[in-house]
Each structure stands twice: as C-alpha cells, then as structure tokens.
C-alpha cells in the first residue's frame, strides 16, 4: 500500500513539472523575416541579424584619383620660379575680360598650379594704374598678349604691349595669342614670334600656353643651377 502511495505521488510530480518543462521548451515564432522558421533556437535572432547585414551591398569601390591629386611639375617648386610673384601676366582688352578670365582659370587650376595677373582682379584699389601695371609686368615671368580686334584698336593695350617688349625683347617670355582674327593682323613688332592660335580650339591653345610657361621656367631654372654650380666651382 505504501508503494502504491509513493508511486502515485511520483506520478503526480512527473505530470506537474514535466508539463512546465515542455511549455518552457517551446520557442516563440521568430519576429524577423518570413524566411525564418518557428523552429529556430535562441540564437536565431543573431543569425537573422548577421544574414540581413551580409545581404546589404558593399561599398568597397575605390575612388579614382582626380587630376588635382596628380603631383605638380617639380619646376613649380624651384627657387627661380619663386623669385617672382606671378607666372603669367595676362594683357587684354576690357571687352575680352571673359576670355582672359577663362584662360587664367585654366592656368590656375589645381592640376596646373600657375599664378596669373589680371588687372581687373589683382590691381589694388586706389593704386595708380600705370605704376601697378609696370610693377606687375616686372614681377611676372611670362607675358601673354591676348590679341583680338578689340586689342589692336586699343591705345592702352598698345601701351601695355610696348611695356612688355621693353622688359624682354626677343625672349621666350612673350606669348602672343590670337582670337577672332588672323595672325597677319598682329602688330609688326610681334610677327617674328611664335603665336598661339585660339581661333579653332581654345582648350588646346590654353594647353600650349601652359606648356610654354613651364618650358621657360624649366630652362631658366636649369640655367640658374648651372650658373650657381659654376660660381661654386670657381
């Protein structure tokens, strides 16, 4: 009889606590996406999370270096180039200001790195125009004369041209460029110089101007180095 009672008590315990254990072992449905089944274990949420993150697109495309990331020519760091404030003095008629600014913007772009002088931009307020002009001519390595029909009719432009010629006649420093006119209409004083033609392809002409300035800076920088070396040896 005692055995029956003990057996009855043990049966009651198994029935009572066995049911609670079975209830706690049931897993609630996964609240993530429909691809997750209700039979996931307790690690199902972390699995779903890692799965969703791995499905996102990867942004591992490396950016291509821009033109401004390319190193500038070494001559632009030379002592000779630093000896003057400007690389190019842009002489032009007032009616051609947009064209002059377009050319200066090309030469001064980060990928090119030149320094230009434009009278309307760089002449200080209150300064005497003729004095400031002469100072800018003397403080520039090269002089670009932007010849247009407006230029050849302008006495002020003619004055600037002769200031340039007096500073560096027969030199690489003078760069005539023609726009909207043939080369044959250049002033007689400049017809012996190589002329950049901007009539057909302005960007190509801008590139020629840039290369001409770099070549001048390179030639003069090397000449200065040779002169310094000769003096040292002597």
Condensed to tens digits (0 to 9), the pLDDT of residues 98-142 reads 999 999 999 999 999 999 999 999 988 887 888 899 999 999 999
Q: Is residue 93 a contact partner of residue 152, using CB atoms and an 8 Å limit? A: no
**Predicted pLDDT of residue 167:** 87
Compute CA 107 distance to the chain's CA centroid, rounded to the nearest angstrom: 12
Condensed to tens digits (0 to 9), the pLDDT of residues 30-56 reads 444 444 444 444 444 444 444 444 444
SS3 40: coil
CB atoms within 10 A of CB 101: 16
The matching CATH number, chosen from 2.60.120.620, 3.40.50.10140, 1.10.730.10, 3.40.50.1820, for 75-223 is 3.40.50.10140
The beta strand positions in 118-225, using DSSP E, are 140-147, 174-178, 196-197
Q: How far is Cα 80 from Cα 78, in angstroms, rounded to an integer? A: 5
SS3 92: coil
Q: Which residue has the tokens 């600014």?
A: 101
**Predicted pLDDT of residue 234:** 60
Q: Dihedral (C-alpha) 148, 152, 155, 159: value to the nearest 10 degrees?
A: 80
Residue 224 has, within 13 A of its CA and on its CB side, a CA count of 13
CB atoms within 10 A of CB 65: 8
């Amino acid at each position: 009889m005692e055995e029956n009672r003990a057996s009855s008590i043990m049966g009651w315990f198994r029935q009572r606590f066995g049911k609670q254990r079975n209830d706690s072992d049931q897993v609630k449905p996964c609240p993530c996406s429909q691809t997750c089944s209700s039979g996931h274990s307790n690690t199902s949420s972390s699995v779903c999370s890692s799965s969703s993150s791995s499905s996102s697109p990867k942004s591992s495309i490396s950016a291509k270096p821009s033109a401004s990331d390319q190193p500038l020519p070494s001559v632009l760091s030379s002592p000779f180039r630093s000896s003057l404030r400007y690389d190019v003095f842009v002489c032009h008629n007032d009616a051609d200001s947009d064209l002059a600014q377009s050319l200066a913007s090309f030469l001064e772009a980060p990928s090119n790195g030149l320094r230009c002088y434009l009278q309307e931009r760089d002449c200080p307020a209150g300064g005497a125009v003729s004095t400031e002009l002469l100072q800018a001519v003397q403080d520039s390595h090269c002089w670009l004369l932007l010849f247009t029909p407006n230029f050849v009719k302008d006495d002020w432009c003619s004055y600037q041209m002769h200031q340039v010629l007096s500073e560096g006649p027969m030199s690489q420093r003078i760069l005539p460029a023609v726009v909207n006119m043939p080369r044959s209409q250049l002033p007689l004083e400049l017809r012996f110089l190589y002329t950049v033609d901007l009539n057909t392809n302005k960007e190509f002409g801008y590139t020629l101007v840039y290369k001409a300035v770099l070549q001048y800076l390179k030639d003069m920088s090397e000449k200065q180095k040779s002169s310094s070396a000769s003096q040292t040896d002597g």
